[in-house]
Amino acid sequence: MDKKIAVIAGDGIGPEIVTEAKKILSVIEDKFNHRFEYKEVLMGGISIDVHGVPLTDEALEEAKKSDSVLLGAVGGDVGNSKWYGVEPSLRPEAGLLALRKGLELFANIRPAYLYDELKSACPLRDDIIGDGFDMVIMRELTGGIYFGERNTQEVNGILKATDILTYDEEEIRRIAIRGFDIAMKRKKKVTSVDKANVLDSSRLWRKVVNEVAKDYPNVELEHMLVDNCAMQLVKHPRQFDVILTENMFGDILSDEASMITGSIGMLSSASLGKTKLGLYEPSHGSAPDIAGQNVANPIATILSAAMMLRYSFDLDQEADAIESAVKQVLKEGYRTIDIMSQGCNQVGTKEMGDLIAKRI
């Protein structure tokens, strides 16, 4: 298979972790007989330095022309960096928002997987963790209250603020289809999360999700209220496979789910739109405090590359190979500094990439 990948290394640890992800993809090319062609694209602080804006039209066009986009991270030290004394639309992170919008990425997928070897980092009790959990949060990314009309006005001397939460059925249908498609590649269970006891938008959400479910008879569907879901995530996380939810609920629940895995350096993410083109990036930021020191954990980016193979290119076997190699290396006791524990071998960014590459 021949695929064109736009690579946005970005700022801070971005270039280091993306180099390791490309190292892994190169092993996949050799082993499974594929060809990945890379196009380096500037975004974030580095694009500001070169072009004066965080994302140029040309860079966005390059991303659109590719089969998928692999991103490290953008941004600098917010308190100190030269990139922050300007209006928000010219800061590094604005490039990311423009990219997501330009590629019409409406579905955000964040897996929350607890590795056996990292169980001690999980803040939950052993009897709750059991044999671990493995879920994904499928969050709607371009609608809902974050994109509705908002205003603040003074009425009779009292300040009043309004944010409008709107969804139409097409917006709900397209994310629901993505959620069920992903469940079909996993344990075939969808938990749709809403607040249908109170909100009209949630009642529409539930109706449309029920309609979509009819096309997926092999997927078990349950509905859960968001307050209950927040509780169930820490009470019985093993019950979840795919959590399907709207923008704000997903924002909050995905952070909760990632927290119970215990390590930000391990968490990948994907954002998908109407086509197979997706944006794949680690959940963490550019970590300027550790940039250039060969200590960053590259695993979240490597696992994001695995998601790209699975969701954009339908290369499940290849994605499995990467995920198994990561598990193997952790099992053998190799750790970057962020997940280091007693009795393990501490390795740097490059060494972690080499080890995973060898295990594939």
Which residues in this chain contact ligand NAD in the complex, by CB under 6 A?
13, 73-76, 78, 93, 96, 264-265, 281, 284-290, 296-297, 300, 338
Q: Residues annotated as binding site for NAD(+)?
A: 285-297
CB 19 → ligand NAD: shortest distance, Å? 13
Residue 279: its H or E element: strand 278-282
CA distances, 22 to each of 1, 97, 325, 330, 357 (Å): 16, 24, 15, 20, 10
Residue ranges of the annotated binding site for Mg(2+) are: 227, 251, 255
Dihedral angle over CA of 320, 322, 328, 330, nearest 10: -120
When the beta carbons of 76 and 143 are compared against ligand NAD, the nearer one is: 76
Q: For residue 144, give Cα distances in angstroms to 44, 171, 202, 287.
A: 26, 10, 10, 30
List the catalytic residue out of 146, 181, 327, 354: 146
We find the least distance from the C-beta atom of residue 203 to ligand NAD, in angstroms, to be 33
By beta-carbon proximity to ligand NAD, the closer residue of 41 and 219 is 41
- The distance of closest approach from Cβ of residue 271 to ligand NAD in the complex, given in angstroms and rounded to an integer, is 10
**Residue 116 among the catalytic residues:** no
Element (H, E) at 220: strand 220-225
Q: Which of 251, 280, 311, 334 is catalytic?
A: 251
Pairing of strands 150-155, 158-163: antiparallel
Pairing of strands 189-194, 242-245: parallel
Q: Which of 168, 215, 227, 320 is catalytic?
A: 227
CB closer to ligand NAD out of 81 and 239: 81
Neighbours of 171 (CB within 10 A): 21
**Cβ 321 to ligand NAD shortest distance, Å:** 22
Q: Is the dihedral of CA 98, 104, 107, 113 positive or negative?
A: negative
241 annotated active-site: no
Strand ranges inside 127-212, DSSP E:
134-140, 150-155, 158-163, 189-194
* Between 219 and 267, CB nearer to ligand NAD: 267
Among candidate residues 11, 67, 167, 195, the one labeled active-site is: 195
Respond yes or no: is residue 255 known to be catalytic: yes
Q: Are 307 and 318 in contact (CB under 8 A)?
A: no
Which residue is associated with the tokens 């009779």? 156
**79 vs 157, which CB is nearer to ligand NAD?**
79
80: left (phi over 0), alpha (psi -120 to 50) or beta: alpha
Kindly state the smallest distance separating residue 309's Cβ from ligand NAD, in Å: 20
Active site residues: 146, 195, 227, 251, 255
